[in-house]
Amino acid sequence: MGDHNLVLLEFLNPENLIRYGGLLLLAVILFAESGVFFCFFLPGDSLLFTAGLLSGSDYLPHSVFLVIPVLIAASLTGSITGYYSGRWARHLLPKGDNFFLKKKYMDMTEEFYKQHGMFAFIIGKFLPIIRTFVTILAGVVRIDFNKFLGYNILGTTVWITSLVLAGHFLGRAFPQTIDYLEIIVILMIVITAIPPIMVWLRSKRTKDSA
């Protein structure tokens, strides 16, 4: 079991994903994490930062000016898929957890949406788990598609552009950054995991007190 976990962690390592899968795999992962029910665990933030860091190198021989629009398009397509899959999966919610839909994540996302309204589609892009389920929630509650799409385009563009450029410029300013990539990725995962945990705890507390 331990060996299987190590293999999974190695597979999900952003550097390895980029080195072996290139821009195509990057786009597929961004599509999946942005709206596919069971892909919320994929490392979106650290992957974008690493993509910026490795852009123009032998591992990712593409300019950031190509990487960014390709990933924005992939993520937006994933979000639209999430929206319509949410409309389809609406009837699954009363049944609780199932293979495709984790109700606890939907509850957490719903609490987040209640706090931030339509801006949840912008802020939520920077939060793991929430960025996947907030698009699904939009379909479940049948938010106006044009309004959803407008906020989603803005959130996706800011999220992807900022993280890719952060990695790109940091790598150019400090070339040795790549030597500490694993440490940076771990720190990013830990930091980005804190807000969703806080939202979950808050939603759980609200549910318990109701």
C-alpha 207/C-alpha 210 separation (Å) is 5
Which pLDDT band, with edges at 50, 70 and 90, does 153 fall under? very high
Mention every residue, 6+ apart, whose C-beta is less than 8 A from residue 81: 31, 34, 35, 36
**Tens digits of per-residue pLDDT, 157-191?**
999 999 999 999 998 888 877 777 777 777 877 77
What distance in Å separates the CA atoms of residue 10 and residue 175, rounded to the nearest whole number? 24
Q: What's the burial of 84, exposed, middle or buried (CB within 10 Å: 0-12/13-18/19+)?
A: middle
pLDDT for the residue 91: 66
Q: Given 3-state DSSP classes, what are the helix, strand and coil percentages for the chain, each rounded to the nearest 5?
A: 85, 0, 15
Domain count for the chain, please give it: 1
Of all residues in the chain, the percent with pLDDT exceeding 70 is 83
Report the pLDDT value the prediction gives residue 97, as an integer from 0 to 100: 54
Mean pLDDT of the chain: 82
Question: Where residue 207 falls among pLDDT bands split at 50, 70, 90?
Answer: low
Q: Domain span at residue 57?
A: 2-209
Tens digits of residue pLDDT in 116-149? 888 999 998 988 888 888 998 899 888 999 999 9
The mean pLDDT of 81-98, rounded to a whole number, is 73
User: What's the whole-number mean pLDDT along residues 3-26?
Assistant: 68
The mean-pLDDT minimum among 43-47, 80-84, 181-185 falls in 181-185
Mean pLDDT of 65-83: 96
Both ends of the chain: CA-CA distance in Å?
A: 40
* Cβ atoms within 10 Å of 168's Cβ, excluding its own: 21
pTM: 0.82
